[in-house]
Amino acid sequence: MSGCGHDPAPPPAKDGKTRVAILISGAGSNMAALLEAAKAADYPAEIAVVISNNPEAAGLELARRAGIEALAIDHRPFGKVRHDHELALDAAMRLRGVEVVVLAGYMRILTAHLVRAWEGRMLNIHPSLLPNYPGLDTHARAIAAGDAEAGCTVHLVTEGVDEGPVLGQARVPIEPGDTAETLAARVRTAEHKLYPEALAAFIEQRKTAPV
């Protein structure tokens, strides 16, 4: 439990779809790919809400233009009290009947409270072939190591950063002359295909074996 008190009755899911929250901090290109996929009648997720800790995140406006509720829950007024910010996030998600949380470029390290509250129901996408290159600067590190390929990983979120069970990966080649930017763009394209597929597979699997 999150410790946020009594949960009101959530809105009913549409057509048996799983209600998903997407958490972002920036551009929201993965979010946009997920919103696009979720337009399909047979996609198993309904995007219930998009939330950003950064009120300036470009993704918020993108989501609103797509007709999705988009909230800014700024972390800054909470100062160093990370847990209080997370309680606000948690409450907003529960109020909207969210069942699965998708981190898509959400640039805050989560505390154990929120991770445990959503254990087995929170996904992240990371721009490397985990367990290689957890953390930041993944593309520069892969190029510096002389790797032949790079990629991205969708995984369940656990208390260790970028450590949770892998749900799916996509690989791309590292080309001669690649910079961190050119490689990031290639990986990003792969992310936009992988994330909607991995989320759909996760939801289908969860229906047959609920966590």
Number of alpha carbons in the 13 Å side-chain half-sphere of residue 34: 34
Q: Which is nearer to ligand GRF, 46 or 191 (CB)?
A: 191
What binding mask, one character per residue, do residues 141-180 give for ligand GRF by CB under 6 A, x or -? Answer: -----------x----------------------------
**Binding residue for ligand GRF (CB under 6 A) from 46, 90, 99, 191?**
191
**Binding residue for ligand GRF (CB under 6 A) from 105, 151, 164, 196?**
105
Cβ-based neighbours of 114, under 8 Å, separated by 6 or more: 2, 86, 89, 90
Rounded (to 5) percent helix, strand, coil in the chain = 35, 20, 40
**Binding residue for ligand GRF (CB under 6 A) from 4, 68, 104, 198?**
104
**Binding residue for ligand GRF (CB under 6 A) from 18, 21, 22, 28?**
28
**Binding residue for ligand GRF (CB under 6 A) from 26, 120, 134, 168?**
26
Q: Which residue of this chain has its Cβ atom nearest to ligand GRF in the complex? A: 105
Query: Quick one: tokens of 68?
Result: 């999705």
Would you say 148 and 158 are in contact if contact means Cβ atoms under 8 Å apart? no
Q: What is residue 74's DSSP assignment?
A: -
Would you say 28 and 62 are in contact if contact means Cβ atoms under 8 Å apart? yes
CA distance 171 to 12: 38
Contact flag: residue 127 with ligand GRF (CB under 6 A): yes
Query: Quick one: tokens of 122?
Result: 């929170």
SS3 11: coil
Maximum distance among all Cα pairs of the chain, rounded to whole angstroms: 56
126 catalytic residue (yes or no): yes
Q: Which is nearer to ligand GRF, 4 or 187 (CB)?
A: 187
Contact flag: residue 29 with ligand GRF (CB under 6 A): yes
Query: 50 - beta bridge partners?
Result: 22, 70
Contact flag: residue 203 with ligand GRF (CB under 6 A): no
CB of 28 vs ligand GRF, minimal distance in Å: 5
Query: Quick one: tokens of 170?
Result: 């996509």
* Active-site residue, selected from the candidate residues 6, 83, 85, 126: 126
CB of 188 vs ligand GRF, minimal distance in Å: 6
Contact flag: residue 125 with ligand GRF (CB under 6 A): yes
Interface residues with ligand GRF (CB under 6 A) are 24, 26-31, 104-105, 125-127, 152, 188, 191
